[in-house]
Amino acid sequence: MCFQLFLYMFFIGLHLLANEYQRNNISNRIVFLLLINKGSYLCQSSLLIWYWISLSLMYGDKLHLFATADIEMCSKSKRAVAMNKNKGSPKGLHQHKAVQRARPDSINFSKLVADLVETGKTFYSRGWVLGTSGNFSAVISREPLRVAITSTGLDKGSLAPAQFLEIDGAANVVRGNGRPSAEALLHLAIVRCMNAGAVLHTHSVWSTVLSSTHASRGGVELEGYEMLKGLEGVRTHQHCEWLPILENSQDMIELAQRVSTTLREVSGIHGFLIHQHGFYTWGANLQEAKRNIEILEFLMEVLIRSAPSHTLCDPGAGRQG
């Protein structure tokens, strides 16, 4: 009898507390009436749990109960919407936490885009992406595959975050306005074949020249340079880096297939050239991709500037009979 009286007092206290914050919550009043009338211990126990859940929704920050369930319930229930309007209350703070945890991809997208904007400025100032050429991408998530990529036809020296798109594994736009770069399929092929976290494409003078002069050789060989050691996985200047040259095409589906085939067949490469077009490289993340492109652009320039000791003319072009 004493225990039953204690329960009644406890529920009345809870009810008054809840009513203070939810004056129009009719369900609380109904529960209160049920409790005043006769109820079994089982019923009272169930209602006690119900009350605790209700309170944890209101005071989750303090009670630290039902935290995980709380986040999901907050995002779905109408109550959470009402809570969110009251930003100054503990309820508002609680909802703010739930939003932060529920959308990590948004934070990741913003960070990656900010880094790609800076990459565009740097590459433009170095003359690698002039006249709206080139494009950049970075992986947001792998399951499902989501990639942040530049929209087509933009000045890479003055990119704005709003000019980036999020695409899925089939190059469909899932966030942002505009069309993805025409070469988005090549980016996706590289991401998949090389497990890359970022892909960078430039139209530099040096890569364009070499893609033409070395076309008949099928690629460019870089060997004996100390700078090679900056490439991921390279430990000695004696390393021989091979940059395959692929024939250019406006059929991106066909070109993406050839890119995939090349990446599967030629192991250990860090980039490739497209004939009279430009250069692609990648990395596990954007920092690694930037390092690779700086080293390889440097070495391509060295190869051309040291022309007397290297034959820059296509050896196959002038060959007679």
Burial state string for 264-298 with b = 16 or more CB within 10 A and e = fewer than 16:
eeeeebbbbbbeebbbbbbbeebebbbbbbbbbbe
Q: Where are the alpha helices (DSSP H) in the chain?
A: 2-21, 26-36, 41-63, 67-76, 78-85, 90-102, 104-125, 184-194, 205-213, 252-265, 286-305
Q: Which is nearer to Zn ion, 278 or 283 (CB)?
A: 278
User: Minimum Å distance from CB 186 to Zn ion?
Assistant: 8
Q: Which is nearer to Zn ion, 187 or 270 (CB)?
A: 187
User: Minimum Å distance from CB 292 to Zn ion?
Assistant: 17
Q: Which is nearer to Zn ion, 95 or 135 (CB)?
A: 135
User: Minimum Å distance from CB 154 to Zn ion?
Assistant: 13
Sign for the pseudo-dihedral over CA of 209, 243, 227, 297: positive
Q: Which residue lies nearest Zn ion, judged by its C-beta? A: 278
**How many residues in the shown chain lie near Zn ion by CB under 5 A?**
1
Residue type, 298: F
* Stretch 227-266: interaction string toward Zn ion, x if CB under 5 A: ----------------------------------------
Radius of gyration of the CA atoms of the chain, in A: 31
Between vectors from CA 230 to CA 225 and to CA 231, what angle results, nearest 5°?
Answer: 95
Q: Which is nearer to Zn ion, 47 or 273 (CB)?
A: 273
Which tokens sit at 49?
A: 């749990």
Q: Look at the block and give the residue holding tokens 């060997």.
A: 223
Q: Which is nearer to Zn ion, 91 or 187 (CB)?
A: 187
User: Minimum Å distance from CB 135 to Zn ion?
Assistant: 7
Q: Which is nearer to Zn ion, 61 or 155 (CB)?
A: 155
Q: Which is nearer to Zn ion, 39 or 278 (CB)?
A: 278
User: Minimum Å distance from CB 134 to Zn ion?
Assistant: 6
Cβ-Cβ contacts under 8 Å for 33 (sequence gap 6 or more):
none
User: Minimum Å distance from CB 277 to Zn ion?
Assistant: 6
* Stretch 268-307: interaction string toward Zn ion, x if CB under 5 A: ----------x-----------------------------
Q: Which is nearer to Zn ion, 47 or 255 (CB)?
A: 255
Among positions 16-45, residues that touch Zn ion (CB under 5 A) are none
User: Minimum Å distance from CB 130 to Zn ion?
Assistant: 12
Sign for the pseudo-dihedral over CA of 21, 27, 33, 35: negative
User: Minimum Å distance from CB 212 to Zn ion?
Assistant: 15
Q: Judge contact between 200 and 280, C-beta under 8 A.
A: yes
Cβ-Cβ contacts under 8 Å for 129 (sequence gap 6 or more):
120, 123, 156, 157, 202, 203
Residues that bind Zn ion (CB under 5 A): 278
